[in-house]
Amino acid sequence: MRLRSLLPADPRWLRQVHGIGVADAARSQPGVAADASFTREPGVVCAVMAADCMPVLLAHDGGEAVAIAHAGWRGLAAGVIEATIGAMGAPAARVIAWLGPAIGAQAYEIGEEVRSAFLERDARAAAAFRCTRPGHWHLDLYAIARQRLASSGVTRVFGGALCTASDPVRFYSWRRDRAGERMAAAIWLA
């Protein structure tokens, strides 16, 4: 079944740049450079593509707004989750989050420069890293996302248990396959 047949309208695709830009999906041009979008209008589909980076879906519990963020390490380190919550304009206590499939900590080894990018912003991020050998670390993107959501006041967080690199039957993985395939994540107000 084609994705488009499941959606109320064409998705508002972004030109993802691994940053913290957030677009108003109902008002921005198709292909705007951003890594997140939000809407307060029914039927407007916010969407991102990912293959190891984490899609973070956000919804106001009263149905007033939804948002989605493409959260790879660069975006997470720079604050894409916080920027997306801010752009939604909803009180964080009313936001529900779902962490979509991403590369799991057991499969995601990074260097010291990536770890430093997180620790420079928040020393508490150290808990999301496990040393594998000198200068190399396993990074738990889900733990970082949960920290950032909690710091923003979002306490209802779900998902965060699916590893793209460890499950080739269900997921694409850039680190595993070095191919250009991506998965789509979408959210909209009915």
Residue where the block lists tokens 């999906």: 25
**Mean pLDDT of all residues in the chain?**
95
Ramachandran region, residue 98 (left: φ > 0; alpha: ψ -120 to 50; beta: rest): beta
Domains by residue range for the chain, with CATH:
3-103+153-187 (3.60.140.10)
Q: Which of 16, 152, 171 is nearest to 94 (CA)?
A: 152
How far apart CA 67 and CA 24 sit, in angstroms, is 9
Residue where the block lists tokens 């920290």: 147
Tens digit of each residue's pLDDT (9 = 90 or more) over 100-157: 999 999 999 999 999 999 999 999 999 999 999 999 999 999 999 999 999 999 999 9
Q: pTM to 2 decimals?
A: 0.95
Show the DSSP H helices in the chain as ranges.
73-78, 80-88, 112-121, 141-152, 174-177
Mean pLDDT of 161-182: 90
1 pLDDT higher than 70: no
Binned at pLDDT 50, 70 and 90, residue 4 comes out as confident
Give the containing element (helix H, strand E) for 34: none
Mean pLDDT of 83-104: 97
Token readout for 10 is 């064409």
* pLDDT at res. 10: 93
